[in-house]
Each structure stands twice: as C-alpha cells, then as structure tokens.
Amino acid sequence: MIQAVEYNNNFTHDIVIGNQFESLFGKMVAHYKIECKADFLATTTGNFYIEYNYKDQPSGILKSEARLYCLMQVTKGINRELQEGSLYTINDIDFFYIIQTGKLLSLCRKHGRKVQGGDGKNTKGWLLKKADLVL
C-alpha cells in the first residue's frame, strides 16, 4: 500500500516511494485493459481526437471495455519502410497520457469540441486540447 508522505529531501526515503509507484504502474499495465490511440495530428493541432460515434452508432470511448486509455502523440514513422514487423518504434512516440476511461469521458464531455472526422467522415468525436488532460 502506498502511503501519503510529507516532502522529504532524502534520496534514500524518496527511492522507496518511487519504487512503490513503479510497482503500481507495472500492476496497472499487467492487470487492466488499456485502449491505445495514436494521434498523428496532435503535435500540430494541440488536440487529441476521441471517437464516440461511427455511422450513427455509439463507438470508440462509448463502447470501450478498457479501464484505461493511452493517448499517444506520434510524429514519426509513417513514411518508414516496414522493418522488423512494424512501421513504428518507441522513438516515434513523443509522449503519451494514461488516464482512466471514465475520467477521459468526463473531460471530453466538459471540455471537448464535437467534430466529424476520420473514416470517410463517418465518425464523430471530441477534439480535446492536450492542456485539458493535465488539469
């Protein structure tokens, strides 16, 4: 169990807390279903696109069974030759946010702007500013 601690300027103490959070993160990744979404435009638009409808049917975040969402800003790799079974590597991901699906949905409903997009304009989604993810 991770305990709340007061500020402490002691590396030996802080490493214990850091190790506890690393362990918690590992358990989260191992035991919870995570929906990963790569966004190639987030770097230029400042937004993530979160789908909620496809051909007038609930989809995306509204149908997801994942407990967590991982939103990735990807800027490289798309023009690379297929190597080792993948067009992308960890170096192509600028950064990512991991957020509980329910919290992401709440942020979309509160701060997102509804737009039509992708897949032949058959989807609807929220554009959520990256800044709104770190409230």
For 90-131, what is each residue's pLDDT tens digit?
777 888 899 999 999 999 999 999 999 876 889 999 999 999
Same domain, 15 and 72: no
- State which residues form the domain around 76: 33-134
Same domain, 99 and 112: yes
The full length of the chain comes to 135
Same domain, 68 and 86: yes
Confidence at residue 26, expressed as pLDDT on a 0 to 100 scale: 85
- pLDDT tens digits, 61-85: 999 999 999 999 888 655 555 555 6
Q: How far apart are CA 74 and CA 93, in angstroms?
A: 5
Average pLDDT, the chain: 84
Same domain, 73 and 116: yes
**Lowest-confidence segment of 30-39, 40-49, 88-97 by average pLDDT:** 88-97
Same domain, 27 and 66: no
Partnered with residue 100 across adjacent β-strands are 68
Same domain, 10 and 73: no
Same domain, 23 and 80: no
Partnered with residue 117 across adjacent β-strands are 123
- Share of residues in the chain with pLDDT > 70 (%): 82
Same domain, 40 and 100: yes
Q: How far apart are CA 9 and CA 2, in angstroms?
A: 18
Res. 1: pLDDT tops 70: no
Number of domains into which the chain is organized: 2
Same domain, 88 and 40: yes
